[in-house]
């Protein structure tokens, strides 16, 4: 009688990322830079981008026949405005996260006065959303860095900070007019969240960053929430300065059915840094 399991099972490849483009974006305008949140359209040809100096940009993404990013074009730009229409000034204009709902509604998260608001990209005008007492405890410059919307349309927010260097990061959901914690993401090493997005299967892609003496490092983890403990896989961990200072991520599917991750770096308005839009394809 043959022993069970004597035949070797085929190895299952772990998902990973393949870099397919890396475009340095320059613009000779005083407002240009500091990009911290981004949402790419389903066809990959348009992006909404917010900066930490209170501006929203509509950009055209020029692609070749293989959907490879070739160039970026500014289509429109607006300062962030209050619900009454006045331009937001410091420190209330520090935009960090951006997400777009199934209905096309955009949401932006802001630091210092930690909050999430609706935003109209055509005017920059924001709209009020409920706040949470939990947000008041975040450090001034470590607030709601990442926004993401589930395929079902639920808005999620993830802060850059946790209660300790070993405590998990919280994921908050806006449901029935109130924010509540729905997930805890294990904290691994010195990396902290800076961007997030969901794919059509409901998997969360978390962009993280760490700061080293040799420059910024980036990491992307993917989470599935099918059980009490999220399942995670690390898709990429970069060496210092490999991608500059990646701060935003957007997930979409190209015309070939491939899942693409579009990221953008924050140059901190420093000449020694750059604004780069880097794209990856998920391989499984």
Report the chain's mean pLDDT, rounded to a whole number.
Answer: 94
Question: Which pLDDT does position 164 carry in this prediction?
Answer: 84
89 backbone dihedrals φ, ψ, rounded to 5°: -105, 175
Dihedral sign for Cα 245, 195, 35, 88, please.
Answer: negative
Question: Which pLDDT does position 6 carry in this prediction?
Answer: 42
In this predicted model, what pLDDT tens digit does every residue of 80-139 receive, in sequence order? 999 999 999 988 999 999 999 999 999 999 999 999 999 999 999 999 999 999 999 898
Question: Which pLDDT does position 12 carry in this prediction?
Answer: 58
d(CA 110, CA 141): 10
pLDDT above 90 (res 3) = no
pLDDT above 70 (res 276) = yes
Question: Which pLDDT does position 89 carry in this prediction?
Answer: 92
Question: Which pLDDT does position 140 carry in this prediction?
Answer: 84
Pairing of strands 155-159, 144-149: antiparallel
Instruction: Write down the domain spans for the chain.
Output: 16-283
In this predicted model, what pLDDT tens digit does every residue of 4-32 receive, in sequence order? 444 555 555 789 999 999 999 999 999 99
pLDDT-derived band at 224 (thresholds 50, 70, 90) equals very high
Q: Indicate the fold that domain 16-283 takes in CATH.
A: Neuraminidase (2.120.10)
d(CA 57, CA 255): 25
pLDDT-derived band at 261 (thresholds 50, 70, 90) equals very high
Question: Which pLDDT does position 250 carry in this prediction?
Answer: 99
d(CA 197, CA 147): 7
Nearest residue to 277 via CA among 73, 93, 114, 128: 73
Nearest residue to 183 via CA among 284, 255, 175: 175
Task: Select the more confidently predicted residue: 33 or 164.
Answer: 33
């Amino acid at each position: 009688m043959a022993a069970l399991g004597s035949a070797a099972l085929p190895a299952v490849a772990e998902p990973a990322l393949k870099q397919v483009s890396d475009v340095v974006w320059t613009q000779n305008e005083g407002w240009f830079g500091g990009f911290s949140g981004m949402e790419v359209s389903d066809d990959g040809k348009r992006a909404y981008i917010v900066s930490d100096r209170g501006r929203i940009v509509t950009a055209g993404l020029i692609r070749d026949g293989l959907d490879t990013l070739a160039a970026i074009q500014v289509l429109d730009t607006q300062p962030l405005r209050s619900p009454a229409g006045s331009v937001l000034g410091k420190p209330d204009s520090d935009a960090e996260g951006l997400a777009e709902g199934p209905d096309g509604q955009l949401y932006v998260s802001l630091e210092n006065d930690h909050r999430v608001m609706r935003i109209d990209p055509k005017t920059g005008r924001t709209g009020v959303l409920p706040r949470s007492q939990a947000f008041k405890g975040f450090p001034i410059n470590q607030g709601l860095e990442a926004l993401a919307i589930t395929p079902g349309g639920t808005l999620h927010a993830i802060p850059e900070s946790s209660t300790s260097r070993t405590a998990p990061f919280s994921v908050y959901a806006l449901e029935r007019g109130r924010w509540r914690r729905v997930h805890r993401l294990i904290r691994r090493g010195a990396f902290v969240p800076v961007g997030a997005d969901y794919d059509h299967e409901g998997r969360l892609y978390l962009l993280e960053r760490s700061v080293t003496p040799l420059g910024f490092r980036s990491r992307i983890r993917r989470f599935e929430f099918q059980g009490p403990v999220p399942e995670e896989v690390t898709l990429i961990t970069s060496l210092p300065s490999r991608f500059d200072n990646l701060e935003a991520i957007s997930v979409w599917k190209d015309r070939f059915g491939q899942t693409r991750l579009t990221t953008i770096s924050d140059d901190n308005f420093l000449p020694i840094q750059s604004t780069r839009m880097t794209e990856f394809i998920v391989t499984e």
